[in-house]
Amino acid sequence: MSNSRPLEIYMLPFLSPGHMIPLSEIGQLFSSAAQNVTILTTPHNAASLTKISNSPNFRIQTFSFPAKQVGLPDGLENFLSATDIPTATKLYTAVTLLQADLESFMLSSPPDVIISDMFFPWTADFALKIGVPRIVFHATFIFAQTLKNAVREPDSPHHSVESDYEPFVIPNLPHKITMTRAQLPDYVRTPNGYTQLMEQWREAELKSYGIVVNNFSEFESEYTAFYKDIMGGKIKIFHVGPTSLTQSSSNDKANRVHKTVIAETECLSWLNKKAPNSVIYVCFGSACKFPDTQLMEIACALESCGYDFIWAVLGKDDEKDEDMIKWIPSDFNQNVIKTKRGLIIKGWAPQVLILDHPSVGGFLSHCGGNSVIESVSCGVPIATWPLYAEHFYLEKMLTQVYGIGVEVGVEDWNLWVDCGKKIIRREKIEKALRKLMDGEDEMVKEMRRKIKELGELAKKAVQVGGSSHKNLMVLIEELKQIRDQKS
């Protein structure tokens, strides 16, 4: 390093687990490289971040959350608790009200760099005002950013198809990517207030020094080069992940930020009794709470397919066992749970610990960015069930670019609060699971070979001398040069 004095880095994670966890772990990477990192967040969220790092140069600065000003109860500070649009709207309003306090703090004690989530676009102009670089974090892949950019163009073919379910090819990409209009976000199909926010985030990105990505560069090298090109060649992109691979012990893997509802020993004990590649892991992220009718279809498919499974079901953690009869078949408990063929976790599951176990051979997933990179890092192929956000884009990466996923056949993008609005039947689910887990099928063997190879590349990337480690060191060096030239 040209200067041994550490950087003063302020990080602003969005108040949602899928954003907070990876950005805070990126903060841990910086602090492990002897840089000073301060996470700016609220008291309730700070409590869940204390396990990220015990490094003396990693600290958390809290700001009072304006819950009462927007009509929220005390302690409701995270989008994990938002189960409807009005609550989410109040939360987002409260987040915008934090700007004044955050700016005041950063003006009184200026950092050398601001690394902020895309949901804080104002940090781009603020960083320019105080003369420091701003790095943006998107909580997804550059591949998804590329597709988002492609469909925002006025000549995107989704404007000219005759129906929502007519396939079209997104033009001018490195691969042939086929989608339907129904799989695109609502704000792409019909411009709304969120469309305007997307444009604000894009403009803020163009004013920023670069993008930091929780991924490894080898996984999306073509799209990184492509995205830089379409963004005018000005933006720098630093792949520094996967951050999940920084968790080395089983205890760390089991308790990343959120305390899991199952003991690490119980989970490992169950998995250790299973054959290699024999278990399906089922989880749909931190925001999806399916209705009982959809849970019943999943349960019937899991029972019928015959494979061992671990199923994480959110929104049921305070439910009594006898209430499960509403969303499982009558003989499910007797035939599946008591025989130890299946394990249901009602609440937060130790996902990385599960995926990294050799008995796990498939993942039924919503294709959220964190779930995808964690599965790839562990070498586990995915049955894709996209729901909202950028999930359908990432499904296409898994199935159409890399061939490491099997589509369940979900047709419609929905808001997270409408998950399960259109029920996916058990026959579709079972068919995808059988296709994913058929160890004798040549296509499945090739899929497993590819994803195991990618998993090895991910592990090498985060090691000293690997691509992600090098990118982190380069970014630190460049930021120090900017600081020193300024002084």
For the chain, 487 residues long, give each residue's pLDDT as a single digit of tens: 446 899 999 999 999 999 999 999 999 999 999 999 999 999 999 998 887 877 889 999 999 999 999 999 999 999 988 989 999 999 999 999 999 999 999 999 999 999 999 999 999 999 999 999 999 999 999 999 999 999 999 999 999 999 999 999 999 999 999 999 999 999 999 999 989 999 999 999 999 999 999 999 999 999 999 999 999 888 899 999 999 998 776 666 666 666 788 999 999 999 999 999 999 999 999 889 999 999 999 999 999 999 999 999 988 877 887 788 899 999 999 999 999 999 999 999 999 999 999 999 999 999 999 999 999 999 999 999 999 999 999 999 999 999 999 999 999 999 888 888 899 999 999 999 999 999 788 999 999 999 999 999 999 999 999 999 999 999 999 999 999 998 7
Beta strands 177-179 and 168-170: pairing type? antiparallel
Which of 13, 219, 6, 217 shows the shortest CA–CA distance to 135? 13
Integer angstrom CA distances of residue 11 from 1, 39, 40, 236, 242:
22, 5, 6, 18, 18
Which domains are delineated in the chain? 8-245+462-486 (3.40.50.2000), 260-459 (3.40.50.2000)
Residue 10 has, within 13 A of its CA and on its CB side, a CA count of 24
Q: In this structure, how many other beta carbons lie within 10 angstroms of the beta carbon of residue 50? A: 10
User: Is residue 145 a contact partner of residue 132, using CB atoms and an 8 Å limit?
Assistant: no
Residues 6+ apart with CB under 8 A from 467: 216, 217, 218, 239, 460, 461
List active site positions. 19, 117
Q: What is the DSSP letter of 336?
A: I
